[in-house]
Amino acid sequence: MTESIQLGDVHIAVTRKDVKHVHLSVHPPEGRVTLVAPSETRLEVARAYAITKLGWIREQQTQLRDQARETPREFVERESHHLWGRRHLLTVIERDAKPSVSVDHKRITLSVRPGSNQTRRAEIIHEWHKSLLHAAVPPLIRSWEPRLGVRVTRYFLQRMKTKWGSCNHQSGHIRLNTDLVKKPKHLLEYVVVHEMAHLLEPTHSERFVAILDAHCPNWREARAELNELPLSAERWRG
């Protein structure tokens, strides 16, 4: 059961679980705050703890607000687009043929029908992004399943407002943010491993941290790098 604490303008979602210590987290990209406490912890005790950390919470939220954000993409000639952590310039070709996207070491070439608007161009690029992820994700899952001793029954790609990934422990499903195609590939692997580790331990408990430490010793550096990269400027509907 999730409860909440309100400290001025700071909202904290509180969950009690079978953990030894309190875990306070500020989540990118919007600064959402969660507190996981041992099962027997009273809400007023959790509140008192959160008050002592209020300065730290505000500092983390300020850092996230100040973090670089991508300017909104217009999908026009010579616009910058990132793919697997590298910057490419967009070339737009209008022709009366099925839309397509291709890439070389410096350019992404978008072929669209004459008169295609920004929304349609965005859709074409997004579908291309998904195709690249569909090529990259299954090999990672197959590689990590035997190492972690888990099985991913299904994975999904979707636009996500506040998370890089999520896991449904009971169904064996993982979800990945399509924006990961813009980040270096080793960060995609980190998110895949993170979500697969939740199949062993659904919470961010000490056991979960131990699993990541054992299988992905550089995971803290990967998390920090991912959270320092520019956030999407897009405002997804829904």
Class of domain 80-228: alpha beta
pLDDT at 236 (0 to 100): 32
Nearest of 78, 73, 105 to residue 90 by alpha carbon? 78
Tokens of 211: 């699993």
Q: What residue ranges do the domains of the chain occupy? A: 2-66, 80-228
pLDDT at 231 (0 to 100): 60
pLDDT at 69 (0 to 100): 64
pLDDT at 7 (0 to 100): 94
Residues 6+ apart with CB under 8 A from 22: 35, 36, 37, 38, 41, 46, 49
pLDDT at 20 (0 to 100): 86
pLDDT at 234 (0 to 100): 44
The Cα 45–Cα 214 span in angstroms is 33
Below-50 pLDDT ranges, the chain: 233-238
pLDDT at 1 (0 to 100): 64
